[in-house]
Amino acid sequence: MEKGKAFLVGAGPGDVQLITVKGLEAIKKAEVILYDRLANPKLLDYAPSDCELIYCGKLPDRHVLRQEMINDLLVAKVLEGKIVVRLKGGDPGVFGRVGEEAAALAENGLSFEIVPGITSGLSAPLYAGIPVTHREFGESFAVVTAHDKSENGQPNLDWKGLATGIDTIAFYMGISNLPYISENLIKNGKSPDTPVILIQWGTFSRQQTLEGTLSNIAAKAKEVNFTNPAITLVGDIVSLREKLNWFEKKPLFGKQILLARTGTEESELARELMEHGADVIEFPKWKKISVPADQAVISRIPEYEQILFTSPESVKEFFQIIFDAGVDIRKVKADFYGCSTKSVKALNEKGFFAEVEGKMPPAGKMLIVGNSDFAQKYNHAEMFLTSIKVVDEQFTPIFNRILEEASVNTVVLPSSRAVKTIIEEGIMKEIIPQQLLKTSKIVCMGVRTGEAAIEYGIVPDKVLESPDKTAVVNCLARKESELAFV
């Protein structure tokens, strides 16, 4: 068997757009991904649908897989001839144990590449408005682990060198050792008044910060129960935050949104919400299963008067199928309709004028392309399946972990089908807690979506007349008091 190859990839600090181009390319061709807790699970959306996903996450009080087991698993999967991605939060070379994993591969004569990532010690401060170097505040910067392999986990560092020789220090995962860190820096020459900032979940919309000084930061953190994952930044440069804090001023910062997903393609709405500062959890994850093309339907293509496309994906698949079958598009005489504005847009991009389903006349020989959900509604129509869409069950435990760590405060329902999906695939399967729909703000895109939500017992906080991404962003950017029920 031909040996495979491993890519040891830095996933960046959290914001999915901060992964490198090379790292993303590795994910897109992976056959196996071993991923950590701090690698944003949204990156797994880019993996092939048949990619095997293995969770290797660690928490301070428990290990899902110990490092030795991860090394062995990495070697075993590469020996199977697989393209294996080891996806690690931040940069794999900064407290990421990439040296141990690369050594295990090298000792077994296996091929590998190391793909650097953006480390949280640099990025989390920048997302909090603090560059780690500045001509007026500091020309030296150190990254330091706040834990070591000793029994008490307290690092044995050159405290004198850190306190007197380094302007700015970033401690990784140092919350539990804050009293120890502060005490040693002060004891070795750092002023008790030196500014300190704690940055939790840096670069995520759920980013939290806590400011203080070496003399009081430990007490402040204990008072509010501040926890890891966090960066502790020590130095006068922290004072720049008041002027340069940019990320937390984005209009949707702090919004943790559950977005009901009905398609397999990347969501433009999700991307727009993230651009404006929100964290977005798209649920569920769908995958397509190909089905043989119905040749009898293909032969009757010129006879149809109306063709209704159930999704943007069905548009792309339909035209590819008839092209492969040798059908000249000029033989298609039907008027085109889409079940959503996204489907209509997909047809427009192909160069066709199309209308939404609601404007379709009741009579005429009709073909439904895509999802069979609409066959019952139009029982006089013929059905042309381009593929079967099913929920990717491999993502169920991933969603469970995401929902455990996130604090969803907003639910966006783009369509009536999305309402059905969130209930049947989320609530009824106990992946999404029913309570979440009661404690979150519910935004429905369009009147029909709002009506569908009410039928399922969901009370919307806002029903948008204009069901487009700009309207959603504008709605969520308003103050809570303005998000009144419509």
Q: What is the CATH number of the domain that holds 127?
A: 3.30.950.10
**DSSP character for 199?**
E
Q: Is 274 a catalytic residue?
A: no
Do 112 and 170 fall within a single domain? no
Specify the 3-state DSSP secondary structure of 399.
helix
Q: Which residues constitute the domain of residue 327? A: 289-390
Q: Is 36 a catalytic residue?
A: yes
CB-CB contact of 340 with 368 (8 Å): no
155 or 217: which carries more pLDDT confidence?
217
Confirm if 198 and 221 have CB atoms less than 8 A apart: yes
- From the list 256, 280, 196, the residue with the least C-alpha distance to 230 is 196
pLDDT, position 342: 84
Rounded distance between C-alpha atoms, residue 399 and residue 283, angstroms: 8
| Catalytic-labelled residue, pool 58, 250, 316, 345 | 58
Tokens of 485: 């029920």
Q: What is the mean pLDDT of the chain?
A: 92
Q: Which of 173, 274, 360, 366 is catalytic?
A: 173
332 touches 305 (CB < 8 A): no
For residue 484, pLDDT beyond 50: no
**What was the pLDDT predicted at 485?**
39
1 is catalytic: no
Residue 350, domain CATH: 3.40.50.10090
Number of domains in the chain: 4
pLDDT of 98 > 60? The answer is yes
Cα torsion 319, 322, 325, 330 to 10°: value is -110
Structure tokens at 65: 């897989």
Q: Rounded distance, CA 344 to CA 366, Å? A: 17
pLDDT above 80: residue 481: no
Same domain, 16 and 31: yes
Domain end: 79, 97, 117, which one?
A: 117
Q: What is the mean pLDDT of residues 138-152?
A: 80
5-10 sheet: strands from edge to edge: 52-55, 32-35, 83-88, 5-10, 111-115
> Binning pLDDT at 50, 70 and 90, where does residue 288 land?
confident
Domain end point (choices 86, 117, 148): 117
463 is written with which tokens?
């029903």
Least Cα distance to 35 among 17, 12, 18, 15 occurs for: 12
Same domain, yes or no, for 130 and 156?
Answer: yes
Given this model, what pLDDT does residue 265 score? 83
What was the pLDDT predicted at 59? 57
Indicate whether 183 and 313 sit together in one domain: no
pLDDT, tens digit, for every residue of 440-475? Answer: 999 999 999 999 999 999 999 999 987 789 999 999
Answer yes or no: do 240 and 324 share one domain: no
Question: Are residues 319 and 276 part of one domain?
Answer: no
d(CA 286, CA 190): 54
Give residue-wise pLDDT tens across range 187-241.
999 999 999 999 999 999 999 999 999 999 999 999 999 999 999 999 999 999 9
Q: Which domain-ending residue is among 222, 247, 272? A: 247
Top mean pLDDT of 20-29, 60-69, 149-158, 366-375 is at 20-29
Q: With a cut of 80, say whether residue 153 has pLDDT above it.
A: no
